[in-house]
Amino acid sequence: MLYLTFLLCFLCSILITPIVKKLAFKVGATDNPNQRKVHLKIMPRLGGLAIYVSFILGLLLMHPDSQYHAAIVVGSVIILAAGILDDIYELSAKIKFLLQISAALIVVYWGGVHVDFINLPFGGNLYFGAMSVPITVIWIVGVTNAINLIDGLDGLAAGVSSIALITISAMAIVMGDPYVMTMGAILLASTLGFLIFNFHPAKIFMGDTGALFLGYMIAVLSLLGFKNVAFISFVVPVIILGVPISDTFFAIVRRLYNKNPLSAPDKSHLHHCLLKLGFTHRQTVLLIYAMSAMFGLAAVIFTMTTVWGSILMLIIILLAIELIVESIGLINANYKPLLKIVQVLARNRQ
């Protein structure tokens, strides 16, 4: 039944996307080119509505059962409403943020989704106590915005989200979690159908409707799959979402380092830096897909190694991220502490 539902959601997304495209022009949900955008003509957004409708079709067909289900769906409606209103009327950041927090609080208080503790790698538990709710809300809102921030090139957010969903669904199968596996597969099929129209050159953008919805769902599903588990497993969703989380983290670092406001937009995100290096639009997207796939593979391997092997792998991942950041100038052209150390060591060896 799941395979048939997957196919139906995929086909539904393909059939609905052109309809949503026409609707976007009618309601004024369009994206105009400016100095921060890479597209050169007016583009319809609101494409995430096609993903959502296809996703709801999958839920109606599969009836996934979980104590968290009702709260997750209600939260998704709030997120969808925030995205639609922003795509049409461009909501203020404050209102969008409040709506995201509202959706997260519904999942936490009504659904009961929150991380209470983690098992430490060398024995004992770390209980979050009163911090359990804030940590969970920060995770949901943070990942929601991380996916939104990487939605800067044709097919980028949809492709990265699809790779994350493949990893989450595959690991849910291994962990024996049918709910996360079913929800992840339905959402994956709906996203892939839309990606046909969104890959470069895009015919429609997913807009905040899609980016916020995908970010919210990925945040919640990854949390469900790895809550109240060992410390090493707790790191897994962070690795799975390595690309959007890293890009968001270094955007904050970049603005602090350059003494710019945290809310100030710029053209120095990962995809902007790769474009500046000379990669084409399509090459940049495919390269970031490859990075996301590597993070997904690393997450799977991460769960299969020993504690010491996982720690070593985590150190290697962090060093690799730092080297990439310095090489492409993700913070700024002069920020190269690790590369300078490598250069000094190389000179000394000569």
Counting Cα atoms < 13 Å in the Cβ hemisphere of 205 gives: 29
Q: What is the DSSP string of 173-187?
A: HHTT-HHHHHHHHHH
SS3 percent helix, strand, coil of the chain, rounded to 5, is 70, 5, 25
Position of tokens 């895009």?
A: 202
**Residue 148 is labelled as binding a ligand:** yes
Strand-pair category, 30-31 with 43-44 = antiparallel
Nearest to 205 by CA among 83, 75, 81, 36: 83
CA distances from 166 to 55, 162, 175, 207, 332 (A): 15, 6, 14, 22, 33
* The two structure tokens encoding residue 211: 């980016």
Q: What residues contact residue 115 under an 8 Å CB cut-off, 6+ apart?
A: 128, 132, 135, 136, 139, 223, 227, 228, 234
* The two structure tokens encoding residue 261: 């406001």
Tell me the β-bridge partners of 119.
125, 230
DSSP H helices, 127-155, are: 132-149
> Quick one: which H or E segment has residue 119?
strand 117-119
**Residue 116 is labelled as binding a ligand:** no
Q: Please return the burial class of 338, using the count of CB atoms within 10 Å of its CB with bins 0-12, 13-18 and 19+.
A: middle
Write out the binding residues for Mg(2+). Answer: 148, 208
Q: Which residues are annotated as a binding site?
A: 148, 208
